[in-house]
């Protein structure tokens, strides 16, 4: 009986903080601030660096310019939030992160002209999207776009093949696994030239994946590649 009552309560008042149970947010600003959050650092050498920029010396074979990460995936509350948001009907959990992600972006990237930026989602193979019902990265991209007034476009990079789970492979296997997997939409080349691309996702994928997508963009005259994610290990 209590299960049914809880279910009804969730429908009537669906937003409560996963950590302190306060209403209005799935993760309230207070609980987020108490979590162990990332200081501004370079994703390659893990040393502190202003605005999450990748150091010039760390840029060898690295194609992204900064990776903005809100919090640690090891945190059990975050883990549960992201796990629950995988269900289509709980995508409101992801949408509730809009303010945190936009603030993180605007704090660490000086955006003078919004026209110089485009928000895109991390590409997902179409069959996977059918199975999952939605692309979580698209949901996050839309909310950040709405809040920052930066245009979003989901036609720029496509994933044209299904891949094995990267985390279970060796470095060389990972690189081979990703060969020919992502394709740039060449009709949009003029649209992306000299622009700064912001990719939004829930959890940071493997280094090889983010670097491969960034490489395709950089090799096609994109000025800067920025990743904006909720959590990383």
Number of CB atoms found within 10 A of residue 79's CB: 15
Q: Is 231 in the site for Zn ion (CB under 5 A)?
A: no
Residue holding tokens 């696994």?
Answer: 177
Which residues 84-123 are close enough to bind Zn ion by CB under 5 A?
none
User: For residues 157 and 134, what is the distance between their CA atoms, to the nearest angstrom?
Assistant: 17
60/112 with CB nearer Zn ion: 60
19/232 with CB nearer Zn ion: 19
Tokens of 163: 């891949």
Minimum CB separation of residue 20 from Zn ion in Å reads: 3
Q: How many residues belong to the chain?
A: 233
Q: Is 19 in the site for Zn ion (CB under 5 A)?
A: yes
Minimum CB separation of residue 22 from Zn ion in Å reads: 5
Minimum CB separation of residue 233 from Zn ion in Å reads: 18
Tokens of 46: 């893990």
User: For residues 96 and 55, what is the distance between their CA atoms, to the nearest angstrom?
Assistant: 32
Minimum CB separation of residue 101 from Zn ion in Å reads: 18
Q: Is 169 in the site for Zn ion (CB under 5 A)?
A: no
Q: Strands 182-184, 66-72: parallel, antiparallel or unpaired by DSSP?
A: unpaired
Q: Is 58 in the site for Zn ion (CB under 5 A)?
A: yes
Binder to Zn ion among 28, 139, 230, 231 (CB under 5 A)?
A: 28
Q: Is 189 in the site for Zn ion (CB under 5 A)?
A: no
Q: Is 17 in the site for Zn ion (CB under 5 A)?
A: yes
Residues ≥6 apart with Cβ < 8 Å to 159: 123, 124, 125, 181, 182
Under 8 Å between Cβ of 77 and 27? yes
Please tell me the count of residues contacting Zn ion according to CB under 5 A.
11
Which spans of this chain sit near Zn ion (rule: CB under 5 A)? 17, 19-20, 22, 28, 31, 42, 44-45, 55, 58
């Amino acid at each position: 009986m209590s299960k049914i009552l809880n279910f009804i309560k969730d429908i009537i008042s669906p937003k409560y903080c996963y950590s302190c149970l306060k209403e209005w947010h799935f993760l309230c600003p207070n609980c987020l601030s108490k979590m162990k959050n990332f200081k501004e650092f370079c994703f390659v050498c893990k040393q502190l660096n202003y605005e999450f920029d990748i150091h010039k010396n760390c840029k060898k074979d690295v194609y992204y310019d900064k990776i903005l990460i809100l919090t640690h995936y090891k945190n059990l509350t975050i883990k549960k939030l992201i796990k629950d948001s995988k269900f289509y009907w709980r995508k409101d959990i992801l949408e509730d992160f809009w303010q945190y992600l936009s603030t993180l972006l605007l704090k660490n990237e000086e955006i003078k002209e919004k026209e110089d930026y485009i928000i895109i989602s991390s590409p997902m193979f179409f069959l996977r999207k059918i199975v999952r019902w939605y692309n979580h990265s698209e949901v996050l991209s839309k909310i950040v776009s709405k809040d920052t007034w930066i245009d979003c476009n989901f036609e720029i990079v496509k994933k044209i093949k299904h891949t094995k789970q990267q985390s279970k492979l060796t470095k060389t296997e990972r690189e081979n696994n990703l060969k020919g997997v992502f394709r740039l939409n060449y009709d949009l080349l003029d649209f992306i030239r000299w622009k700064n691309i912001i990719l939004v996702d829930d959890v940071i994928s493997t280094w090889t994946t983010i670097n491969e997508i960034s490489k395709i963009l950089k090799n096609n005259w994109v000025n800067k590649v920025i990743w904006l994610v909720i959590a990383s290990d």
